[in-house]
Structure formats: C-alpha cells, structure tokens
Chain A
C-alpha cells in the first residue's frame, strides 16, 4: 500500500483541469465586461424611453423612427442588442448546465437557446439597418416630423 499523497497546503485547489486562457474563463470575463457596459446602455435606454417626457405613453412609430434616424441611437441599440443577447444567452447556458442533467435534455435546450439567440440577433440587426424612418406610402400623420421637411 502506497502512502497517501497529501498536497502541499499552499497549492491552490483546482476545480477543473482547465488552466490559463480557455472558453469558460473567457465566458466568465465576458459576463463582467459586457455587464458593465450594459449597465450604461440599458439605464440610458430606460431613461430616454421610460423617464423623459410622457414616458411609455409617447412611444410610437414616429418616436422610434425619429430616434433611429440618428446613427448615434442606431449604434446604441445595436450594441445593446448584441451585448444583451450574448450576455443573456450565456447566462441561460449556465443555467442549463446547472439544472439539466441528461445529455439529451441539455442538447435540446442548448439547441433551442442558440437558435433563439441567433434568430433574435439577426432579426434585430436587420431591422436596425434596413429600417426606413419614412416608408413610402405610409400614413403621413404616423411618421416623424423629419419626413415632411
């Protein structure tokens, strides 16, 4: 019988065999960086859309297209969409890893998650870039003031 190996007490306990730069560490780091940026983006979005003026009561097509006529808000919403979906998608991936035990259930749930993330990001990106604030043939009273100038 061999003597029990007692590790050096100053040696750090290793949860996984992973060392250095790896996907799970980068995912952990991404959550912190994207989270810090999202605090600014989301609070700015809530302040402009829910706090200023008449808040949610004034939101309609003219309000949204008035905002997206400005590249600043297009970029703001694009960053919020991508960071929000990747941050949220990665969070749900962690939840699936924690609670879904069987390999088949994990595969199905993650497939659904990745499809939802990709579809939502693609849809949102296309809308931001292909959207026209003054669509041809639309009822003029529903359009922002820049369309009649």
Chain B
C-alpha cells in the first residue's frame, strides 16, 4: 500500500487524472444506485408513494443533478472501455494517452447531445 513514508511518486498526467476521475465518478454512481434502488422500491408500497417521490426527479435541481449523473456515467463507461483496452489490447498501454483524449472527445459529444435534450424535457420544449 502506498503511504507518505514509503513515497508516493507517481507519473501523473493523463494516466493519473483518468484514474482519479474514474474513482470519483464510480463512487458517485454507486451512491446514486443505492438511492435509486430504494426510490424505485416504492412501487411496491403504492402508486401514490412512488409518484410522490419520483416527482422530485422532475424538479430543476434534480434535472441538473441528472446531467451531472449522466456526465459521470458517460465518463466512467468510456474510460472503463479504455481500461479494458489497456489491459487486453496489445497496443493498449502504448496508446493509453491517445485513448484518454478520445474518451474526453467522445464524452463532450455525448454531453452535447444529452444536455439540450434534458433541458428540453425539464422546460417542456419538446
């Protein structure tokens, strides 16, 4: 295990920051998943109870939170594919930096697609 006494030298750059972002996004998604299973479990209580709680997801604050959640999921999914390629593709380790910027580019494209769609749902544009 790394510790300050043993030294925490790391190469930094894309390899380290993608790892940090993967960890933080994964932790957030896991916490949301537990909450989401519990709110969905309310369908077993009554239609009224479920509709009451799920109604909060349709507010502006939750709508913006959903954009953050989808952003975290998209990054974690794309970077996860990069991790799989680093581990299983012969060229993976050599191309990891290029793949990181591909992840960033694809993430921006996915968010450019999702954010207007979500804002449209929130404000009733379509």
Contacts and interface: CB of A to CB of B under 8 A. Distances in A.
A36 B82 CA distance: 11
Interface in B60-93: 63, 66, 70, 73, 77, 80-81, 83-84, 87-88
A138 B46 contact: yes
* Size category, A interface: 35 or more
Interface in A104-138: 116, 120, 123-124, 126-127, 130-131, 135, 138
Contact of A127 (B34, B44, B48, B88): B44
A70 to B, nearest CB: 15
B37 interface: yes
Contact of B81 (A39, A60, A139): A39
B29 A56 contact: no
B95 interface: no
B47 A142 contact: yes
B19 to A, nearest CB: 11
B43 A61 contact: yes
Interface string A39-77: 100110010001100111101111011001000000000
Chain A at the B interface: mostly helix, strand, loop or mixed?
A: helix
A55 B66 CA distance: 11
Nearest to A46: B70
A60 B114 CA distance: 21
A51 B47 contact: no
Contacts of A68: 43
Given A43-B77, A46-B73, A65-B43, A59 B54 contact: yes
B48 A139 contact: yes
A131 B27 CA distance: 29
Interface of A: 32, 35-36, 38-39, 42-43, 46, 50-51, 54-57, 59-62, 64-65, 68, 81, 84-85, 88-89, 91-92, 95, 97-98, 101, 116, 120, 123-124, 126-127, 130-131, 135, 138-139, 142-143
10 contacts: A56-B66, A59-B58, A60-B50, A88-B33, A89-B30, A91-B30, A95-B27, A123-B41, A127-B40, A127-B43
